[in-house]
Structure 1
Amino acid sequence: MTFMSSIYKRKESQELSESILETARALFAEHGVDAVSMHQIAKTAGVGQGTLYRRFSQKGELCMELMEDYFNGLQEDVQRSLTENASLAVKERATLVIRELVLNLMNNIQLMETIYAAIFAGRRCEKEMSTFFDSPPYQFLFGTVQGLLQEAVDTGAAAAGVCPPINAHLLISTLAPQSLNHLRDQTGYTPEELAGVINRTIVHPLFV
């Protein structure tokens, strides 16, 4: 095999894996994780089951790959927002971060809710038993919010009684997909309106 043909085959393999992931993403969002079989994913993607299983040995691997892909993008968006707005006061940066998180999560709410439910309730989508609080998404979100709150405490911009780890945990728990979906259904708010209410009633009181 020549060097160029090797590169082509790797690219072709990567494109096939991405096609399978996009198919799984659409099926999970439409039907829920439990209702979708590996056979259905292979058939819809137009590949043989052997091809599918060589790339993803179980549905849990597909779930985790989709979640990792989504949160890598979310992490990049949040970090870019913080970098671009580094000159703003910490309260304003926290407001922007929470808005970014709410809008991003709400735009992908159906897929994220089904995957979260399957992974963290111990259903068939999981690869290893875990909890939301052990997951990389929670750790990233918690670390980001706690860092902003700690900065506020250190610079005198935090309200009296703010405890960065506790307040960060409570805020991130509010942003879990199931929680946001419930709030949207109960209030009828748009993602932008929901982000505004969360910022005004939960985030802003943490600052002076």
Structure 2
Amino acid sequence: MCPERDPSKIPRDELNRRRILKSAKELFIENGVENVNMHQIAKTAGVGQASLYRRYSDKGDICLEIAYEEYQSLFDEVQGFLDKNSEMGPLDRLYQIIVRYVSFLEAKVPWLCDISRASTGHRPMQSPLCQWMRKESSILLNEAVEREEVSDIDVSYTIEALLVLLHNVDYHLLDEGFTTKRVVDGLQRIFIEGLKAQKR
């Protein structure tokens, strides 16, 4: 493990960035993203509003940076899994990614889902998490097609349908009261078992 960097040697701009993100995250978790404004973030972080606006033009920019930092642990975990399990079938690998995706969001709902939506305005399917999942799913589904492990499918549309369901995981877990197992099992039936080519 690398030793912690001496705070006195960290540039002021970087210290301000860390304070802003930490304070914003705490405020979002406590009050909800919609109920927090830039003035509150600056005050809680102990930075001037001018300093805040020099780095972030609006709350969406802060949300985007928090989202990237939060998602990185999922990205790293999945990459480690893929590196160690290249011999596993592509659909099985996709299923394992879906399980990790849902479990990751379950631990952070609803605040991280709200941050993701706020960071991308009215284009939720372009969030960093959705873009990453779109890329990983495309690689694996195209591999499954090449191996003739799936029936004739429209890969791009199938991925977009999967993303719509994953994007609403917080709604399914909190508002509908579905368990994580129910969500994951349903996704497996539709997007894994449902795509497999029928043996003749």
Could you say which TM-score interval applies, normalised by the shorter chain? Answer: 0.7 to 0.9
Distance 1:60 1:185 in 2: 24
Residue 72 of structure 1 and its aligned partner are, at CA, apart by 3.1
Distance 1:24 1:115 in 2: 10
Residue 192 of structure 1 and its aligned partner are, at CA, apart by 4.3
Report what 1:164 is aligned to.
155
1:82-121 equivalences in 2 (<5 Å): 82-121=82-121
Residue 141 of structure 1 and its aligned partner are, at CA, apart by 1.0
Residue 96 of structure 1 and its aligned partner are, at CA, apart by 0.5
Partner AA of 1:198 in structure 2? L
Paired positions, count: 191
Unaligned runs of 5+ in 2: 1-5
| Kept after mapping to 1: 8 A contact 2:94/2:137 | yes
Secondary structure class of the residue paired with 1:109? coil
* 1:103-123 per-position Cα deviation (integer Å, ceiling 9, x unaligned): 11222221223223434455x
Report what 1:77 is aligned to.
77
Percent identity of the aligned residues? 29
Distance 1:97 1:156 in 2: 21
Among 174, 189, 192, the alignment partner of 1:200 is 189
- Structure 1 residues 81, 46: closer, same or farther in 2, change over 3 A? same
| Kept after mapping to 2: 8 A contact 1:42/1:52 | yes
| Kept after mapping to 1: 8 A contact 2:64/2:116 | no
RMSD: 2.5
- Structure 1 residues 121, 16: closer, same or farther in 2, change over 3 A? closer
TM-score by length of 2: 0.81
Residue 188 of structure 1 and its aligned partner are, at CA, apart by 2.6
Secondary structure class of the residue paired with 1:34? helix
Residue 22 of structure 1 and its aligned partner are, at CA, apart by 1.6
- Structure 1 residues 186, 37: closer, same or farther in 2, change over 3 A? closer
Unaligned runs of 5+ in 1: 123-130
- Structure 1 residues 187, 53: closer, same or farther in 2, change over 3 A? closer
Among 164, 167, 178, the alignment partner of 1:173 is 164
1:10-49 equivalences in 2 (<5 Å): 10=11, 13-49=13-49
1:151 aligns with 2:143: yes
